[in-house]
A and B are shown apart, each in its own frame.
Chain A
């Protein structure tokens, strides 16, 4: 049977509009089927809100019109790409087996990889190169791991403080649940900040799914810019507490001191530098680059040139760096400054490697909302969507954000290279084939991460037994965590930072602290509503694309 006919064979979403315009599909694949369900009479075209000052209600945001995924997708080009990539990977495997050394050298050559397929498209080159870095067994690389006190690679399932393991040999080892770039299993929790010996000394971290990071990164930049602008505007009166708010989300208060300094003592939701950091369970990194840099170091023992230079030149941290980056920098190893981890290489990773990885992660698709199809379940889904707001979940798990300018420039940060990569989420994000072909002329870009990007006190029961592992003071308090973006949730069990909750019900019950009210409301809701809420939550899914295996 041809591809053209299979679309018609799948069950249709009963509430799908009969007509749709291609431009809406952009929103669709981001927000999936979101909400056609809520109230059809409220339906509006494509994008719901404009501007950063308005306060979008969850209902409105979720009522964007959408069509079912299978109607919007043309699978043929996607499958063609898959097959091409699989053939290339297979050939790659053969080359690596035949000439391992050459293959490894070429992956880690100074200008990073693009061996899979020659392509004139610079962005595509980086995407594929990043994918290769993501999937490669890094233990073959001379810079893998460390040789501090034991033979390289000196694997440690339990991390040694902020230095890390190394505990695994590839990114995909822990990011595969539900498919490529997905979440990790309970088994694959990182045991961070420990003594290298005992499980109980470490803080468990469940590997999160990586989809949508590109959008979060851009959003964090914009929110940060708005916050910075608010304190930079002229005419501020010393001693007066100023309220910080972005798109209806309250970020606390700051006060100007008579000496011109800033009193940030009432800021708990974000760092005192007013930088929004959406990555890491406790919100420790603002960019995918810094996130990947830390992961390479703590999981694979690959330290970057940037970290090294900061370390032995005691150079300043990059502008977007955080306490977590500083902690990693200060714990690279006990060796000489050029090679603190005493392995076979001085600089394990260079700027372009991080660029390639950051570009790859930036271009991963955003998760979607895929409701159930049966009538009864669909009704439950709608009820659950209402319950999400009614019970107060949406207070922190803010459904949608607007992005003004969905573009990103990735700088190399390397003296040896002035490479910069520019990307536009509307045009470049890899959502499978259809988005690439779309007319991307949309004035704003709405995403549905279900997070307010703030840190909250989650109560004593959820607290780590220490602060963010290895971080120098002031640490993020043990019970504070970033509001977990819920998009893609269906494929990311087990839940919570340490993967303690096997089910959605357990995860909700574990909420305390600032979420206590919502948790209580959930407990007091009818069983029917509790279950409906879970049905709704399970519709938050990674994009449903089949993948080739092995």
Chain B
């Protein structure tokens, strides 16, 4: 790649991730409101009576809203149609926004809300929404009726079962034409979003600096947060050789979402899932893809021809982001049995020893926990995510927060066993993003297509760059393997009481 094109790519990247600071002071920041029980570090520690009371009141209130909506159709959805302008003007409080987001997350969308599509193409299954079980190209299914339908294991916002799998980019009819994708847990997604932004920023600065400083024949290693991303080299003729870059696309944007690392931000992920899985065409996706026919051949304001315009406002997407950002983070739950506790601790050592921790990095350091949950870096609400970390928060703010993610947020070659029939969005068929292991106990089944029912099956499917670690695992004694798995299963989520979605 020549230097000019490179600069342009990186510049676009910087603008895309919104990391170029503006001169003006940033708007106010408020602490995130955490939903779910933070203090729970074991079932016995939960104040269950209070939670039960809260859960029942919430449930009755939600039922009352549903009754009201049947009595006065559309009233519920109308109450959720929040505008970004109102949020920016401070008219919608953060707790309200989170409540709206929760409702948006768990409510079914029907034709009246813009769910599904009105395109007349063969292969859609019955019903008025034109849903289909296998997605068709970029357009998607839509293959579901609500977010919670596929994100529910371990509580609202969790992962999905194998039967919830999406078949991406298929022919709309035969599952084997699609790429099978198991729904991922969304706990901690906002934190992951921030980590990725910081990593992108680092990498892009390093690349720009290398482009200025590197002399012919020189190499420079790329690395952020201790994670290596290959190297750059200035070759003869002044060209910067990018063939040594590893684990990230050549625009140097770290994309932590999607099993193959295809989406850069939580917001983008929500917007594209609304399109592909629910058939909700958010205003921002219409703006972004206004020239394309990918969203349907209908008029500009209703490409999917379902007769509904403005299916999701920017504010509604912000509400969804806010809700997901508020979910309590996965934790390491103590092994109550003392023998098991000992074994688990040894398992953690084995995890590092045999090389699992090389990719599943136990922690990444988050420098700046402040983020905007809105469409731009300056949008409201701007929140400080550090309350999510509770007691685990490092009091010395300058040193940042250790996020126990168990991922390096980069792509690796996983070998032939996991390989797919074809590449996806230019990412080779054997390459996948290292999935974070936090919350693993509540997120089975495992791997991109959910093929692994337990930890052992998941480990044994590793190959490629992970082949050595897998071989080391296979050589472990029965007892040692047990300890490792015991450690992994302790990566869970606080137990809490709720009405399941």
Contacts and interface: CB of A to CB of B under 8 A. Distances in A.
Interface of A: 1-3, 6, 9-11, 70, 75-76, 79, 82-83, 86-87, 90-91, 93-94, 96-100, 137-140, 155, 157-158, 167-170, 172-174, 176-180, 182, 185-189, 191, 197-200, 204, 370, 372-374, 376-377, 380-381, 490, 493-494, 498-506, 531-532, 534-535, 538-539, 541, 544, 546-550
A168 B500 contact: no
Contacts of A534: 70-71
Given A70-B56, A83-B48, A550-B155, A200 B343 contact: no
B485 interface: yes
B287 to A, nearest CB: 28
Interface stretch (B96-104, B170-178, B377-385): B170-178
A83 B44 contact: yes
Contacts of A499: 127
A372 B64 CA distance: 6
Contacts of A140: 453-454, 457
Interface of B: 43-44, 46, 48-53, 55-57, 59-60, 63-64, 66-68, 70-73, 108-112, 115, 123, 125-129, 131-134, 143-146, 149-150, 152-155, 158, 160-165, 167, 173-176, 333, 335-337, 340, 343, 441-442, 444-445, 453-457, 482-483, 485-486, 488-490, 492-493, 495-501
A97 B488 contact: yes
A410 B72 CA distance: 47
Contact of A187 (B111, B150, B336): B150
Given A197-B176, A538-B66, A503 B110 contact: yes
A102 B57 CA distance: 43
A538 B154 contact: no
B174 A137 contact: no
Contacts of A93: 441, 489
A3 B131 contact: no
Given A94-B335, A534-B70, A550 B133 contact: no
Contact of B125 (A9, A199, A541): A199
Contacts of B486: 94, 97-98
B64 A374 contact: yes
A501 B150 contact: no
Contacts of B115: 502
B56 A544 contact: yes
A504 B70 contact: yes
Contacts of A75: 49, 52
A506 to B, nearest CB: 6
Given A87-B44, A535-B70, A546 B161 contact: no
A176 B50 CA distance: 24
B67 A538 contact: yes
Contacts of B51: 546
A182 B152 CA distance: 13
A158 B493 CA distance: 33
A199 B442 contact: no
A2 B49 contact: yes
5 contacts: A3-B49, A6-B52, A204-B125, A498-B125, A549-B498
Contact of A100 (B131, B176, B456, B488): B456
Contacts of B501: 177-178
Nearest to A461: B126
Nearest to B485: A97
Contact of B127 (A76, A83, A94, A501): A501
A386 B76 CA distance: 25
With most chain A CB atoms within 10 A of its CB, the pick from B52, B64, B73 is B52
Contact of A535 (B60, B71, B155, B442): B71
Contacts of B493: 550
Contact of A199 (B109, B133, B145, B445): B133
Contacts of B174: 197-199
Contacts of A86: 43, 495
B164 A180 contact: no
B500 A186 contact: no
A466 B60 CA distance: 42
B133 A547 contact: no
B500 A6 contact: no
The 5 closest A-B pairs by CB, nearest first: A550-B154, A500-B127, A550-B442, A139-B453, A97-B489
